[in-house]
């Protein structure tokens, strides 16, 4: 019986007291039902582990065309909106329903976690790291390594120019065959140059001799440069220095040396 039908019946019977008593009974029944429903919902929520917070593609700090002429706008748009977005979609799928893990922490045991986490979690971290270490050429040329970073570069490589030369040699197709990344990392009290295949990075246990903390990294997958440079990877690598934001790299170095941890990324 609907509430309206009941009210009309009670009034027609002239039983105000019956009407009042029944309304109270119905109200009590609704209250009990509401309590039981809420209790069941709370119990269910308590029994299910917290779902992972979805990772996301961070917005760039600059327009797609801002890195021209060294990295072209079409490449940046496809790289960011398509390639990075695919890694994010896939790592969200791989971690759906699992306990939330920060993307930096996810890197450590990525190899043990399997290809979905290794490839897509690495792809997300690497790209989020990559976007933030670059700046438009006019801004980038005003930046330079901090005194602390410069001292570390000189200690480990001899000079900034010698570090760049070693980096470019490591990024050459003959030295890093196929797709991958090249990194400058903090390892103990020195800087090391590391090349990794696919979407691996030195934060992952088992990728290098020991876990290291990147402060600078370059994507040498073909999708990062092919529209402009075709097969001329060395030209892409050499030109890339024109958009490196050394202020950000210096911040990365300061963070890593203080925290002994991977650099946090957006998204």
Question: What digits encode the pLDDT tens for the residues 236-245?
Answer: 999 999 999 9
Higher pLDDT, 138 or 27: 138
Q: Which of 96, 130, 133, 103 is nearest to 118 (CA)?
A: 103
Buried/exposed code over 189-215 (b: 16+ C-beta within 10 A; e: otherwise): eebbbbbbebbbbbbbeebbeebbbbb
What mean pLDDT comes out for the span 85-102?
A: 96
Q: Give the model confidence (pLDDT) of 23-64 as tens digits.
A: 444 444 454 445 334 444 433 333 334 444 699 999 999 999
What pLDDT score was predicted for residue 234? 98
What pLDDT score was predicted for residue 242? 98
Q: 109 exposed, middle or buried (CB, 10 Å; 0-12, 13-18, 19+)?
A: middle
Gap between the terminal Cα atoms of the chain? 53
173 falls in which pLDDT band (50, 70, 90)?
very high
What mean pLDDT comes out for the span 120-139?
A: 98
pTM comes to 0.81
Residue 12 has pLDDT above 50, yes or no: no
């Amino acid at each position: 019986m609907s509430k309206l039908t009941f009210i009309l019946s009670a009034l027609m019977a002239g039983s105000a007291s019956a009407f009042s008593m029944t309304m109270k009974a119905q109200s009590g029944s609704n209250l009990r039902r509401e309590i039981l429903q809420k209790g069941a919902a709370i119990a269910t929520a308590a029994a299910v582990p917290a779902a992972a917070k979805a990772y996301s593609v961070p917005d760039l700090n600059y327009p797609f065309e801002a890195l021209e002429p060294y990295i072209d706008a079409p490449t940046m748009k496809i790289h960011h909106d398509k390639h990075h977005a695919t890694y994010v979609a896939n790592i969200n799928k791989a971690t759906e329903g699992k306990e939330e893990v920060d993307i930096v922490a996810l890197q450590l045991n990525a190899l043990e976690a399997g290809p979905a986490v290794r490839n897509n979690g690495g792809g997300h971290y690497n790209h989020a790291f990559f976007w933030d270490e670059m700046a438009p050429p006019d801004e980038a040329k005003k930046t330079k390594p901090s005194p602390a970073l410069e001292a570390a570069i000189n200690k480990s490589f001899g000079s900034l120019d010698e570090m760049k030369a070693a980096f470019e040699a490591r990024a050459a197709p003959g030295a890093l065959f196929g797709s991958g990344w090249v990194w400058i990392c903090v390892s103990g009290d020195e800087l090391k140059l590391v090349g990794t295949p696919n979407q691996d990075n030195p934060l992952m246990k088992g990728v290098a001799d020991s876990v290291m903390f990147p402060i600078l990294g370059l994507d040498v997958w073909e999708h990062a440069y092919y529209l402009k440079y075709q097969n001329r990877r060395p030209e892409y690598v050499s030109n890339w220095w024109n958009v490196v934001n050394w202020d950000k790299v210096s911040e990365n170095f300061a963070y890593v040396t203080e925290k002994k941890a991977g650099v946090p990324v957006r998204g």
